[in-house]
Amino acid sequence: MTDPRELYQQVILEHNKKPRNFGKLEPCTHHAEGHNPLCGDQLDLTLIVEHGLVQEVKFQGSGCAIDVASASLMTQAVKGRPVAEAEAMAEQFRGMVRGELDPATQTPLLGKLVLFQGVKDLPSRVKCAVLPWATLHAALKGEAEASTE
Amino acid sequence: MTTTLQPLDIQAIRRDFPLLSRVFHGKPVVYLDSAVSGQMPLPVIERMSHYEREEHTNVHRGVSTLSQEATDRYEEAREKVRGFLGAASTREIVWTRGTTEALNLVAQSFGRMVVQEGDEILLSAMEHHANIVPWQMLAQEKGATIKVIPMNDAGELILDGLDELITARTKVLGLVHVSNVLGTINPVKEIIARAHAKGVPVVVDGAQAVPHLAVDVRDLDADFYAFSGHKLSGPTGIGVLYGKLAHLEAMPPWQGGGSMIRSVSWEKTTYMPAPGKFEAGTPPIAAAIGLGAALDYVQALGLDRIAAHEHELLAYATAKLSALPGLRVIGNAKEKASVLSFVVDGIHPHDMGSLLDGEGVVVRAGHHCAQPVMTRFCIPATTRASFAYFNTREEVDILVSAIQKAIELFK
Percent of chain B at pLDDT exceeding 70: 99
pLDDT in tens, B309-320: 999 999 999 999
Could you say which DSSP state residue A121 is in? G
Average pLDDT over residues B391-405: 98
**Per-residue pLDDT for B12 more than 70?**
yes
Nearest to B357 among A4, A62, A64 (CB): A4
Contact B355 A41 (CB under 8 A): no
Active site residue: B29, B214, B324, B369, which one?
B369
* CA B220 to the chain's CA centroid: 16
Distance from C-alpha of B176 to C-alpha of B129, rounded to nearest angstrom: 11
Contact B409 A13 (CB under 8 A): yes
Kindly list the residues from chain B whose CB atom is less than 8 angstroms away from the CB atom of residue A4.
25, 354-355, 357-358
Residue A1 scores a pLDDT above 80:
no
| Residue ranges per structural domain of chain B | 10-41+302-410, 45-299
Question: Cα–Cα distance between B358 and B370 in angstroms, integer?
Answer: 26
- Residue pairs between chains A and B whose CB atoms are closer than 8 Å: 52
Residue A38 has pLDDT above 80, yes or no: no
The answer to whether the beta carbons of residues B231 and B211 sit under 8 Å apart is yes
Identify from B343, B347, B350, B374 which residue to disrupt to test chain A contact, counting A C-beta atoms within 10 A and taking the largest count: B350
For the domain made up of A4-141, the CATH class stated in words is alpha beta
What confidence tier does B2 reach under pLDDT thresholds 50, 70, 90? low
Mean pLDDT in chain B?
96
The answer to whether the CB of B184 falls within 8 A of the CB of B156 is yes
Which residue(s) pair with A32 in the sheet? A45
B378 labelled catalytic: no
Q: Among A63-77, A110-124, B118-132, name the one with the lowest average pLDDT.
A: A110-124
CB contact under 8 A, A39 and B366: yes
What class, spelled out in words, does domain B45-299 have in CATH?
alpha beta
Classify B228 as helix, strand or coil.
Answer: strand
Residues 6+ apart with CB under 8 A from B402: B355, B356, B359, B361
- Contact: A64, B367; criterion CB under 8 Å: no
Contact A1 B410 (CB under 8 A): no
Averaged pLDDT, A59-77: 95
| In the predicted structure, residue B220 carries a pLDDT above the cut 70 | yes
> CA-to-CA distance for A54 and A90, rounded, in angstroms?
14
Q: Alpha-carbon distance B6 to B360, whole Å?
A: 31
**pTM, entire model:** 0.94
pLDDT of A2 reads: 66
Strands A145-147 and B30-31: unpaired
pLDDT at B377 over 80: yes
What is the C-alpha to C-alpha distance for residues B226 and B204, in angstroms, rounded to an integer?
Answer: 6
Specify which residues A82 forms β-bridges with: A53
Q: How confident is the model at residue A149 (pLDDT cuts 50, 70, 90)?
A: low
Q: What is the pLDDT of residues B118-171, one digit of tens each?
A: 999 999 999 999 999 999 999 999 999 999 999 999 999 999 999 999 999 999
- Domain segments of chain A as ranges: 4-141
Interface residue ranges in chain A relative to chain B, Cβ cutoff 8 Å: 1, 3-5, 7-8, 13, 16-17, 38-41, 62-67, 122, 124-125, 128
Q: What is the mean pLDDT of residues A127-134?
A: 95
| pLDDT tens figures, B264-293 | 999 999 999 999 999 999 999 999 999 999
Q: What is the mean pLDDT of residues A104-115?
A: 91
The pLDDT of B63-82, averaged and rounded, is 95
Write out pLDDT tens, residues B242-266: 999 999 999 999 999 999 999 999 9
Q: Whats the size of chain B, residue-wise?
A: 411
Q: In the predicted model, is pLDDT for residue B3 greater than 90?
A: no
User: For residue range B334-356, what is the model confidence (pLDDT) as tens digits?
Assistant: 999 999 999 999 999 999 999 99
Whole-number Å distance between alpha carbons of A92 and A105:
11
The superfamily (CATH) of domain B10-41+302-410 is Aspartate Aminotransferase, domain 1 (3.90.1150.10)
* CA nearest to B244, candidates B134, B356, B106: B106
DSSP B313-378: HHHHHHHHHHTSTTEEEE---SSB-SEEEEEETTB-HHHHHHHHHHTTEE-EEE-TT-HHHHHHTT
User: Which of the 8 DSSP states describes residue B235?
Assistant: -
What pLDDT is stored for residue B1 in this prediction?
47
